[in-house]
Amino acid sequence: MSEAIHVLAVSKLSPLWTPQLHAAYTVHDRLHETDPAALERLAPQIRAIAASGESKVSAELIARLPALELISVMGVGYDGVDVAAAKARGITVTHTPNVLNDDVADLAIGLALCAARQLPQADRYVRDGSWAAKGPMPLARKLSGGRMGIVGMGRIGQAIATRALAFGMSVAYTARSAKPGLPYRYLPDAKALAAESDVLVVITPGGAATRKLINAEVLAALGKGRGEGILVNVARGSVVDEAALIDALEQGVIAGAGLDVFENEPQVPERLRAIPHVVLAPHIGSATGATRQAMADLAHGNLQAYFAGRPLLTPTPEYHTA
């Protein structure tokens, strides 16, 4: 591999990827932010972008890089990349599917359990002396045997479903289309699914097509007029109308929520942080050492394959339809 190949790292990348990246290429770290004039000079040499799942790769940035051929994203979601602009220029986008399915599914179940059984609150109850001072905690909600609704029955959605079965839960789902090969009930939209779910897990891609898919109406259906239902979001903050969710939690429309993702990360609204029956995580769906290493290796493997003229390991679906 040639160090003469120039790569622009568009955000702070994982330390599990950067050593391999710097060993193989000439890497310009966030030059578009730190020294736009230098980027202007180097632009004709930059052939690839290295990005994380949260990186923004705008049409404007793509237009500034005339030699750009490949965008390698370390993450399965690539809603930060202007795919239409990349595709129009024949630029390939790769991502890192599958290697993170287990971790994200584990976290979805973990958040569902935490929200139902109030585990973070229970921990605090012991630590702050409330147990000794006030006696037993208020009763929580049962998860096992309940109805799980999954919004997005793709790679991760299916991994969540198999875990839900182990909890004796029934599984139903919605997606853009029914999956006849799967043994779960399909419902046509999120509202219909919410009305028949005790726990609604959101695991679609982000982007314009899913923006605020989970709105006040869906939350009202989840609550069933009795303050029931738990929402778990491990997808993207944009998929849930965060203001409507805060209202629903404050007004007791739903019973609780477990959230890994937010509309304006890393900012989480004070009102949301103040709600006691919500469990919050700082976007840690794939954040284990083993999985992040596998994602880094795959993101790097895509760059290596491309510049060696080998088939890409994991191009995004848009590439296949280009």
Task: Report, in Å, the least distance between residue 134 CB and ligand NAP.
Answer: 35
| Site residues (CB under 6 A) for ligand NAP, limited to 154-183 | 154-157, 174-177
3-state secondary structure labels for all residues of 134-159 = HCCCCCCCCCCCCEEEEECCCHHHHH
Strand locations in 34-96 (E): 46-52, 70-74, 92-94
Task: Report, in Å, the least distance between residue 207 CB and ligand NAP.
Answer: 8
Phi, psi of 242, deg, nearest 5: -65, -40
| Site residues (CB under 6 A) for ligand NAP, limited to 80-109 | 97, 100, 104
Interaction between residue 192 and ligand NAP (CB under 6 A): no
Q: Is 228 a catalytic residue?
A: no
Q: Give the torsion through C-alpha atoms of 50, 53, 58, 61, to 10 deg.
A: -20
Strand, helix or coil at 80? coil
Identified binder of ligand NAP from the candidate list 152, 256, 258, 315, rule CB under 6 A: 152
Query: Per the structure block, which two tokens stand in for 35?
Result: 């020294």
Task: Report, in Å, the least distance between residue 265 CB and ligand NAP.
Answer: 10
Of 122-130, 135-143, 219-227, 228-236, which segment contacts ligand NAP by CB under 6 A?
228-236
Q: Is 265 a catalytic residue?
A: yes
Q: 266 preceded by cis ω (within 30°)?
A: yes
d(CA 289, CA 277): 29
Mask of contacts with ligand NAP, 238-277, x by CB under 6 A?
Answer: ----------------------xx----------------
Nearest to 150 by CA among 84, 197, 220, 111: 197
Query: Per the structure block, which two tokens stand in for 251?
Result: 């007004």
Q: Residues 120, 279: contact at Cβ < 8 Å?
A: yes
d(CA 218, CA 74): 32
Annotated catalytic residue: which of 32, 47, 236, 300? Answer: 236
Interaction between residue 47 and ligand NAP (CB under 6 A): no
Q: For 73-86, b where at least 16 C-beta lie within 10 A, e where not — what string? A: bbbbbbbbbbbebb
Size of the site for ligand NAP (CB under 6 A): 30
Annotated catalytic residue: which of 40, 265, 271, 310? Answer: 265
d(CA 160, CA 156): 6
Annotated catalytic residue: which of 30, 141, 283, 318? Answer: 283
Q: Give the torsion through C-alpha atoms of 175, 204, 264, 251, to 10 deg.
A: 50
Q: Is 250 a catalytic residue?
A: no
Interaction between residue 209 and ligand NAP (CB under 6 A): yes
Interaction between residue 146 and ligand NAP (CB under 6 A): no
Task: Report, in Å, the least distance between residue 230 CB and ligand NAP.
Answer: 17
Interaction between residue 204 and ligand NAP (CB under 6 A): yes
Nearer to ligand NAP, 57 or 104 (CB): 104
Task: Report, in Å, the least distance between residue 304 CB and ligand NAP.
Answer: 22
Identified binder of ligand NAP from the candidate list 223, 258, 285, 301, rule CB under 6 A: 285
Torsion over CA: 76, 144, 177, 262 (sign): negative
Side by side, the strands of the sheet bearing 199-202 are: 185-186, 170-174, 147-151, 199-202, 230-233, 256-259, 278-280
Identified binder of ligand NAP from the candidate list 205, 215, 280, 288, rule CB under 6 A: 205
Nearer to ligand NAP, 5 or 203 (CB): 203
Nearer to ligand NAP, 61 or 213 (CB): 213
Residues that bind ligand NAP in the complex, under the rule CB under 6 A: 76-77, 97, 100, 104, 152-157, 174-177, 203-206, 209-210, 213, 234-236, 260-261, 283, 285-286
Q: Which residues are catalytic?
A: 236, 265, 283
